[in-house]
Each structure stands twice: as C-alpha cells, then as structure tokens.
Amino acid sequence: MSLKKYLQKARKENRAMAQFNFSTLDQLQAIISSANVPIIVGTSVKESNFFGMAEAVALVGYYRKKGAKVFLNLDHGRDIEIVKKAIDLGYDMVHFDGSKMDHDSNIKDTKKIVNYAHKKGIIVEGEVGYIPGQSAMNKCDLPKVDSVAIADVVRFVETTGVDLIALPFGSVHGVYSQAPKLNYNFLKEVSKIKQFLVLHGGSGIKDGDIKKAIKLGITKININTELRMAWREGLEKSLKSKDYAPYDLLSESKNRVGQVVTKKLLIFS
C-alpha cells in the first residue's frame, strides 16, 4: 500500500500518522522497532547531511523489505536541488518548505517540485506561513506564530497541487517553558481543503490538544524534539557509568527513544 493510501486511511479513521525524525542509526532502529502501525521517518537537511540521504533510503528500504511499514520523508527542504536529490534517491515523500519566500515565489517553486515528484509517484508536502523555533529544549518563552489567510492557503494548494500542507496552527519547533496553544478556529476553517494537514512541532503539545487537533483534521504530526531529549537524557545517564562500548553507552538512549515512540503512537491513534 502506498503512503498516500495510508494517509487516506488514517484520515478516514480519525487518526494521524506520525513522522519521527532521526539522525543516527540507533534512533532509527529504536523508532522502527517500537512502531506497531505504519509510520513516516524524516530527515531534515542537517540530519540528511549527517546520516547520508542514500544511506537513509537504503536502510528504510531494508526495513520495509523485512516487513516494517515505514516511509521516508525529506523534512523542510528549502532548496529545490536538495529536494530533487531526495526524489531521485528514492525518498517516499518530500517536504518543500518555501515559507521564507514571498507567497508567489513559494507557489512557483512548490509547483516545480510537485511536477517533478508526481512524475515519479512521490508525494509532496508544501508549507504556507512560517513555523518558528528550533528542535531543542529551549529555556525561553514561546516564539510568536504568524497567521495566514485561508484564501492564501486555498490559492496555494489549488495552484501547486501539493498532497500535504504544513500550516502555522499555533505549534512551534522545539519545547519551551509553556505549551503552545493551537488555533482551533483556523484549523476548523482550513480542514475543508482536501490536502492532508500536517502539524509541525508536535513535541511539547498537551496530549488532549493533540487529540482535538486530530479530530479536527490533522493527519500527520511531526515529532523531533522529544526524541532528541530522550536520546540525550539516556546518553547523559550512560556517560556516568564506566562503559566505553558504544552499544552500552547508547542502549539507554535507544530504550528512551522507543518509549517516546510508543507513547506518541498511542495518542495519535
């Protein structure tokens, strides 16, 4: 079954598919071995450069051959060339993030990517309206999230033909002193479009708010920061031991990443 079919099934059943980001093999293994439902794994540009895009494609392909229902997404590709590279290498979907461009340039470049990707059967996530923040534990106040006009969203999805759309629903990248407040009115209005709605910055949002957002039409939720925090906390604990073997040092990180995955999948379903 294709990723698009899994997304359609999730929306029909009022569930959301998770996207878990990774930048190391132990993270990827922990994510895949803890997932009991179809998932997306993502690499941002920095994560892609660290892990290797061809390596990510090969490994995800290997796990899929072994029976895992897992798909690979390039997360926040801001440059046409890297997005095309991901498509050529065999990513299952790509997220082209033109949110820092002016609206018309974003439409123009996203459309180019959609034409290129759809010829190869790859689905595309577009983005309108900038989603701020860093995927880290930030000990400061929430950054302000801009709003976008529904008319701009409609014009964007209709002109570009994207399959999924990332929008500023009130969430931010990273975890902050306060939990973000989601803009349910905007979500309700925009859920009338046929594209799958993507919630970025899924870390740090209260469980009840996530469930409400799924009910209102969110079909894909990206999680990165909470996995990074679990990984780091596991490693910090291990480094207090006298261990030297990486398999000893990283095993606690792996366990903790797996626990986050299990917890999130339960909420999303």
For Zn ion, the closer of residues 98 and 234 by Cβ is 98
Of 200 and 228, nearer to Zn ion (C-beta) is 200
Q: How far is the CB of 264 from Zn ion (least distance, A)?
A: 15
Q: How many other C-beta atoms are found inside a 10 Å radius of the C-beta of residue 75? A: 26
Nearest to 263 by CA among 201, 218, 196, 205: 205
Catalytic residues: 75
Q: Which of 221, 117, 244 lies closest to 167 in space, CA to CA? A: 221
Rounded to an integer, what distance in angstroms lies between the CA atom of residue 20 and that of residue 40?
6
- Shorter beta-carbon distance to Zn ion: residue 109 or 252: 109
Nearer to Zn ion, 210 or 250 (CB): 210
Q: What is the rounded distance in angstroms from the CA atom of residue 216 to the CA atom of residue 7?
A: 15
Q: Kindly identify the residues of this chain, within the stretch 189-218, that bind Zn ion according to CB under 5 A.
A: 200
The answer to whether 162 and 187 have CB atoms below 8 angstroms apart is no
Per DSSP, what are the bridge partners of residue 164?
125, 196
Q: What is the DSSP letter of 136?
A: E
Nearest residue relative to Zn ion (C-beta) = 200
For residue 19, the minimal CB distance to Zn ion (Å) is: 9
Would you tell me which residues interact with Zn ion (CB under 5 A)? 200
